[in-house]
Amino acid sequence: MRTPAADLEPVVVDPRKLRRTAWILVVIMLVGGFAIYFSYLEAAKREANDDRPSIISRLSNQKDFEFIRQDSSPGKMSDLYGDVWLVCGISAKQPETWAATREVLRKMSERYADRKDFHILCLTVDPDNEGPEVLAPLADSLGAKLPEWWFAAAGQEYIHKFLKNDLKLEIIPRQENGKWIFDPTITVIDRDLHLRKGTAKVSTHRRQPFPFNFEEAAKMDRESAPPENPQRTTRKLEELLIHVIDYTLAQPITKP
């Protein structure tokens, strides 16, 4: 049987209980907010101190194509799978477009000369005009020996798409006024076919990925490096590249 509405007593509001409840909720919100804030600071701090190379993407191990190398021998990209390798686009007939990059590659070749699991792959962006007869003298001038350092040509369209789409470079190679325009950035490929960049601390709580564009670094040095350290940016980027190579060489294969 329902109680008649007239017999119901109104709820008596206790202001003290309401205030106490409100303060409890405020305290809970403040404690939760501080917990989230400090958790964020700790996560940012861990991230800022994490010097592992960043991963851009991963090459598909289903993709493979053949090259003609500087000694006219054939080679396949899959020959490099499972090792650590550097890859970049070049123009043998335009040495000025990758001068800083070339010097860094030469240093890396010397530094890791005793490693059988380290390679350098330089892909000409003009394979129709830069076959082994052009690549061989270039390789000899730099002391590039197979199987460590490849200077290679393949189908032009495939190389251009590989550099832009697979290596995630800024531009697809093209000709302007008879000159090749291309991105000579070096990409590090690890044993699992991950594309790697270096990361450097840019603030107390933040690290930023940096591409290995040594031509841009050399340009910055020419424009703004102090006289006492004329290659400041280039050297820092070179140190970062060495760190990434050392890190990836120390890692095992983890993906099929």
Q: 177-201 pLDDT, tens per residue?
A: 999 999 999 999 999 999 998 887 6
Going residue by residue through the chain, which has 256 residues, state the pLDDT in tens, using 9 for 90 and above.
555 555 555 555 566 766 777 777 766 776 666 555 444 445 444 444 446 888 889 998 777 889 999 999 999 999 999 999 999 999 999 999 999 999 999 999 999 999 999 999 999 999 999 999 999 999 999 999 999 999 999 999 999 999 999 999 989 999 999 999 999 999 999 999 999 988 876 555 567 888 999 999 999 999 998 888 888 999 999 999 999 999 999 999 887 7
Helix (H) or strand (E) holding 180: strand 179-181
**pLDDT at residue 60, rounded to an integer:** 86
CA 252 – CA 82 distance, rounded (Å): 9
**pLDDT at residue 44, rounded to an integer:** 42
**pLDDT at residue 256, rounded to an integer:** 72
**pLDDT at residue 41, rounded to an integer:** 44
**pLDDT at residue 192, rounded to an integer:** 95
**pLDDT at residue 116, rounded to an integer:** 97
pTM surpassing 0.75?
yes
> So where are the chain's domains?
55-249
Which CATH fold topology does 55-249 show? Answer: Glutaredoxin (3.40.30)
With tokens 């995630």, the residue in question is 168
**pLDDT at residue 202, rounded to an integer:** 57
Question: Distance from first CA to last CA of the chain, Å, rounded?
Answer: 74
**pLDDT at residue 30, rounded to an integer:** 65
Sign of the Cα torsion 120, 126, 128, 129 reads: negative
**pLDDT at residue 34, rounded to an integer:** 52
Q: Are 36 and 44 in contact (CB under 8 A)?
A: no
| Percent of the chain as helix, strand, coil, to the nearest 5 | 45, 20, 35
Which residue intervals of the chain are DSSP H helices? 15-48, 99-111, 132-142, 156-161, 214-224, 232-249
**pLDDT at residue 43, rounded to an integer:** 42
